[in-house]
Amino acid sequence: MSPDAARKPQTANREVMHFIDGHYVPSCSGKTFEDISPVDGSVIATVHEAGKAEVDQAVAAARAALNGPWGKLTTPERTALLHHLANCIEKRFDEFVETECLDTGKPYSDCSHIDIPRGAANFRVFADIVKNIPTEAFTMHAPDGANVLNYALRVPKGVVATICPWNLPLMLMTWKVGPALACGNTVVVKPSEETPLTTSLLGEVMNEAGIPPGVYNVVNGFGPDSAGTYLTEHPDVDAITFTGETRTGEAIMRAAAKGLRAVSFELGGKNPALVFADCDLDLAIANTVRSTFVNCGQVCLGTERIYVERSLFPTFVQRLKEAAEKLKIGPPKEPGVTLGPLISQVHRDKVLSYYRLAVEEGATVVTGGGIPDMPGELKNGSWVQPTIWTGLSPDARTNREEVFGPCCHIAPFDTEEEAIRIANDTPYGLTSVVWTRDLSRAHRVAAQLQSGITWINSWFLRDLRTPFGGMKHSGIGREGGVHSLEFYTELRNICIRY
Ligand code: NAD
Ligand code: 6OD
């Protein structure tokens, strides 16, 4: 392939290559895999699979950029470039929406309100944060009376491997690449094998924005014994940031142990919502239908366990059932669609296995539980019905394991103490939601919940300056605001005697 052909826009011919040192490059092995539409099962792209050779090239390019032009920029120069990059993403907003929806099957309305705006904001917000962060300084005297000034200096961590999931591809990738670049690092990104398109497209936009070659590199492939392993085991990678399943996090942590590389992990959840009888019920229903079903339930922050104060329980179940049954299932562009397909047939098999398990475990199916009847070619997509259960015991697997589909279990509780206890009775600790008009109760309950984020009378209300991450099996470390700087920089102490 000629170098010019290799530089062609990757979404135009639906051949997805790696993006290394500012160029699209094929795999030298010639190995490829198919990117399948979750909407109708058609092949939407042929993706080059990276071997060790491409990962080596990408890491070397990232190292060279770090030691070269990128590393020499001042903070104002670097952050100005990142603002320009955000503008360039927005200039191609429709193309990003189109591409992300093609890959994920999610509704246009969700993608254009959440995924792509955040793809741009993730660069702007962190550019502003690093520009405005103060440093610490102390003065003292040495034993001989000389003056001493100590100050702290932040330097980039180096080459950061960024391993991403498929549920919000551009948004969750830039959530890590934004602060990494703002802090002066360079990155090698491995997008999910399910959704490589917008990560590839961003390479082109990096070039348009004038980001130096080698700052942003992309290698495509799978996890184990593929690009994921080669990248996380690479000795010249300084830090690894990962979003995905808890079990994958364990594997990556083993890889990171060699060479003692720092890790930042955003992992799975089995998030509870506590609904007290004094809540604003309309608000609680409107938000719970989103927190359970948006993105077809494939949001790590989403709600899979709902506990409702007993007096409100029958009404809440009925209202959430009605709201779930009003969701419109369909392909991304169809007007009014609120529920797309799951990401793949493999993931649908997993979600359907929980739909069966719930029944075996004694659940009452309030609504859903199967596959919707879809017309024509859509029959080949990965559709499932939004599903609500009641009647499961607290130790049922369906109540304890992350399903990552459009489903939830609703159970009653009698006291505040009981609600807190059952909410915390999980190995996970990512998010929790509390619905109450009693502000004292809101503070009291929030303080006792074991989750990285607690939303009171809201859900997924994000201020990117806040700490974001999970407790227990839901993560290691915090990103967001200045907390991202803790991971993406080394804080050095300079001590001057004068
Ligand atoms: P996954 O763990 O299967 O895959 C994530 C990424 O890791 C993919 O790019 C995959 O190829 C790669 N990978 C897999 N095995 C690897 C290995 N051994 N070494 C290196 N890389 C490897 O997760 P997924 O199915 O893509 O995403 C869904 C999961 O992500 C859910 O559990 C969800 O809760 C979680 N998630 C968490 C957050 C958060 O912020 N906490 C956000 C989104 C998704
Ligand atoms: O809002 C964010 O910054 C974020 N990381 C969201 C994660 C969503 C998980 O599916």
Q: Following DSSP, what letter does each residue of 366-389 receive, concatenated?
A: EE--S-----GGGGGS-----EEE
Q: Which one of 183, 296, 300, 408 is the catalytic residue?
A: 300
Q: Is pLDDT at 7 greater than 80 in this prediction?
A: no
Active site residue 300: yes
Please give the average per-residue pLDDT across 231-245, as a whole number: 98
What is the tens place of the pLDDT at every residue in 324-343?
A: 999 999 999 999 999 999 99
**Distance from the alpha carbon of residue 266 to the mean position of ligand 1, in angstroms:** 9
pLDDT band at 188 (very low <50, low <70, confident <90, very high): very high
What is the tens place of the pLDDT at every residue in 119-128?
A: 999 999 999 9
Active site residue 245: no
What is the tens place of the pLDDT at every residue in 206-216?
A: 999 999 999 99
**Distance from the alpha carbon of residue 461 to the mean position of ligand 2, in angstroms:** 11
Coil, strand, or helix at residue 495? strand
Helix (H) or strand (E) holding 255: helix 246-257
Ligand 2 in reach of 301 Cβ (< 6 A): yes
Q: What is the largest CA-CA distance in the chain?
A: 86
Domains in the chain with CATH codes: 3-267+474-497 (3.40.605.10), 271-463 (3.40.309.10)
Residue 430 to residue 93: CA distance in whole angstroms:
30
Smallest CA separation from ligand 1 atom 42, residue: 300
Smallest CA separation from ligand 2 atom 1, residue: 462
Calculate the alpha carbon distances from 286 to 267, 403, 458 in Å. 26, 22, 10
Q: What is the pLDDT of residue 14?
A: 87
Q: Is pLDDT at 1 greater than 80 in this prediction?
A: no
Q: What is the pLDDT of residue 497?
A: 98
Task: Report CA 94 to chain centroid distance, whole Å.
Answer: 21
* Residue 121: φ, ψ to 5°: -60, -35
Residue 85 to residue 65: CA distance in whole angstroms:
17
**Distance from the alpha carbon of residue 219 to the mean position of ligand 1, in angstroms:** 16
